[in-house]
A and B are shown apart, each in its own frame.
Chain A
């Protein structure tokens, strides 16, 4: 059974996706935090980009995400970031994706 923890999610999913969906300048101003959620085993991702934009995702939610692959978790995160960026102060109205990267993730 494929298992995930905060470190593996950060290294194998979060950081690669941020690297393609944010500009280098935006990435430098981004704070990343992964911490336990309110349900057992859940991990919550919090990003603060620049001075004003905050993003929160329920990054990993067993049991409904138990066994999810790198690509499945990455796709969910990329979809949420797609909406967040389009509505953010730094990326207002922009359409960004991680489709090419996701094809290289383990399915």
Chain B
């Protein structure tokens, strides 16, 4: 990404440049959609190499901050776009199960973003029926739609090309947690799938419902010879507008 304008010495200074980085954190958020990507590096790497990892994912010009071996960078704000008029169906990708899904499902992994914003607040994006909305940031894109008159809203999530380019199969998805009008709903199914998988599921909602969701993805990344363990958390808020089923 040629637009990346940072050097090792911008913001961080000589001392930080000499620091071994053992974790990279990339944050992206708006009021209604966001993600947090944490990459742990088993052996600390120079700051310049940590920024090479960042450049694969985002062309943000945020120099970030270095603290105790952690490089934290703010990615560009997410964008919301309208894909099409009319309710189509979420595309489904191929699945290949490997790894330890059971371990993920049974492990005590503390969640973040698991407190929905107050119902009626600005933390929820209006989703009009028959309109396919896509929320995108440097880590990936979350799409959702609801056919007018329906009580079902299919969702999908895909990794961004940049993140997919350094992701190593498989990805373990914990399963999506969601709340409707601040009431928690049953967690959706977990998956072990390739990096290019289209994660997907269905919300059951009614007109005017406020819905909050979070999901977590675990996988490995590789940039050049460097490998790391990645943990991606996504979250967002939706409010469903229009005739319900």
* Residues in chain A within 8 A of chain B (CB atoms): 35-38, 44, 46, 52-58, 61, 63-65, 76, 79-80, 83-84, 86-88
Q: Which residue in B92, B184, B200 is a CB contact (below 8 Å) of A64?
A: B184
A37–B97 contact, CB under 8 A?
A: no
Q: Which residues of A contact B192 (CB under 8 A)?
A: 54
- B176 → chain A closest CB, angstroms: 11
User: Which residues 107-141 in B have Cβ within 8 Å of A in the complex?
Assistant: 107-109
A56–B94 contact, CB under 8 A?
A: no
Q: Which residues of B contact A63 (CB under 8 A)?
A: 184
- A9 → chain B closest CB, angstroms: 14
Q: Which residues of B contact A86 (CB under 8 A)?
A: 92
Q: List the one stretch of B18-26, B47-55, B98-106, B157-165 in contact with chain A.
A: B98-106
Give the number of chain B interface residues (Cβ < 8 Å).
Answer: 23
Q: Which residue in A35, A54, A88 is a CB contact (below 8 Å) of B101?
A: A54
B101–A56 contact, CB under 8 A?
A: yes
Q: Which residues of A contact B185 (CB under 8 A)?
A: 64
Q: Which residue in A35, A36, A52, A80 is a CB contact (below 8 Å) of B189?
A: A80
- A32 → chain B closest CB, angstroms: 13
B102–A44 contact, CB under 8 A?
A: yes
Q: Can you sample 29 A-B contacts with CB below 8 Å?
A: A35-B106, A36-B106, A37-B106, A38-B105, A38-B107, A38-B109, A44-B102, A44-B105, A44-B106, A52-B97, A53-B97, A54-B101, A54-B102, A54-B192, A56-B101, A56-B102, A56-B190, A57-B189, A58-B105, A58-B187, A58-B188, A61-B187, A63-B184, A64-B184, A64-B185, A80-B189, A83-B200, A87-B94, A87-B95
**Which single residue of chain A is at the shortest CB-CB distance from B104?**
A56
B106–A58 contact, CB under 8 A?
A: no
Q: Which residues of A contact B188 (CB under 8 A)?
A: 58, 80
CA distance A38 to B179 in the complex (A): 19
CA distance A39 to B200 in the complex (A): 23
A87–B102 contact, CB under 8 A?
A: no
Q: Which residues of B contact A36 (CB under 8 A)?
A: 106
